[in-house]
Amino acid sequence: MKYYIGLFLTLLIFSCKNQTEDNESVAVEETVAKETSSVAMEWDNDSLIYPEEKHFKNIRQVTFGGDNAEAYWSFDDKQLIFQSNYNGWGVECDQMFLMDIDETFKDSQPPMISTGKGRTTCSYFLPDNKHIVYASTHLVDENCPEVPLRKNGKYVWPVYDSFDIFVADLDGNITAQLTDEPGYDAEATVSPKGDKIVFTSDRSGDLELYTMNLDGTDVKQITDELGYDGGAFFSPDGSKLIFRASRPKTEKEITEYKNLLADGLVQPTEMELFICNADGSDMRQLTNLGNANWAPFFHPSGEKILFSSNFEAERGFPFNLYMIDLDGKNIERVTHGETFDAFPVFSNNGKYLVFSSNRNNGGTRDTNLFIAEWVD
């Protein structure tokens, strides 16, 4: 799970292997626009599903403008919480919005349930379906923080040390603050068992995974290897964690990683998926595909992982959804877009998948939410 939705569109252009010239970036951008504009502007129609996408049916577009992503289901599957920076809804950077699952927002606006201050990221429902957790920078600065895109010619993500994790009710009232350590605390998700939260923090000096109780107590460090560990999710039975990670190995890579982190930055263009038990034991690397493999989520069976990747791309795009067994075998391509599909999340009953996509955006850079009925 990552929070800078719009930056992933830049990643399509700037994270490519062996691509350094600005004129190449312009050419890529023009190609993306042409390919996306060919998708018909239709709603509630299977033409939004590409012919090869055999796992989807009855797809529905939910949002129609801005960058919308990281939509997560309530435990009863009746609502979704998601983040958006759509300026048509009066926000300047990512804030949290609530919706019932049968709603769409072509000519309307969902209720915003974050404070509207600072930048927010990574919301997730708590088991009571009446509260959410999310991270926000508002305690340090009520304005949207600046978003650096490149450092020394390379694409980067900011890791704001002003992020802390909060609990809020569905009216937008903050009811608790779960973290108050110096540095970055964000990317929180909740176990389907309803007993634990996993999150990313740099309190140790590196970006590691931690778990805690729903009230913020009993914090335990899960990972301890150098590199960025983030975007973690529990398995359906709460026994395992799947997450993305960078693993700098050479002296040059290690120095670069540490220098970027000291500046509050990470470089996300080389990431692989890792899986472990919920207590951090039995850690192993699941993918070794190259490029950026991220946004993993367990299949309802608990036996497969759905994730986003550009490992087949020569120039950083497209990103598509793939599925892989827990032993790293039998990789299957799920989506067949020409630009960007990511943030796949199954409903708790396993019947539906919500994801973010550039499809049907009329050639713009808009990233919208889609809900599809899932077919195994």
Structural domains present in the chain: 5-374 (2.120.10.30)
Q: Give the separation between CA 17 and CA 61, rounded to whole angstroms.
A: 32
Quote the tokens at residue 76: 């009863």
What's the pLDDT at 45?
A: 58
Close Cβ partners of 47 (under 8 Å, ≥ 6 residues apart): 40
Q: Please name the amino acid found at residue 142.
A: E
Token couple for 110 = 């969902």
Residue-level pLDDT at 27: 36
- pLDDT for 44 equals 56
- pLDDT of amino acid 19: 32
Q: What is the mean pLDDT of each run of 10 residues along the chain (376 residues)?
A: 46 33 36 35 65 94 96 98 97 97 95 97 98 98 90 87 98 98 97 98 98 98 98 98 97 96 94 98 97 97 98 90 97 96 98 97 94 96
The dihedral over CA atoms of 332, 338, 343, 347, expressed in degrees to the nearest 10, equals -60
Bridge partners for 167 per DSSP: 133, 176
DSSP structure class, residue 12: H
Which pLDDT belongs to residue 29?
Answer: 40
The answer for residues whose C-beta is within 8 angstroms of residue 358's C-beta and 6 or more apart is: 9, 32, 36, 337, 339, 340, 341, 365, 366, 367, 368
Tokens for 242, please give them. 């799947």
CA distance 171 to 130: 9
Q: Which two tokens stand for residue 364?
A: 């713009």
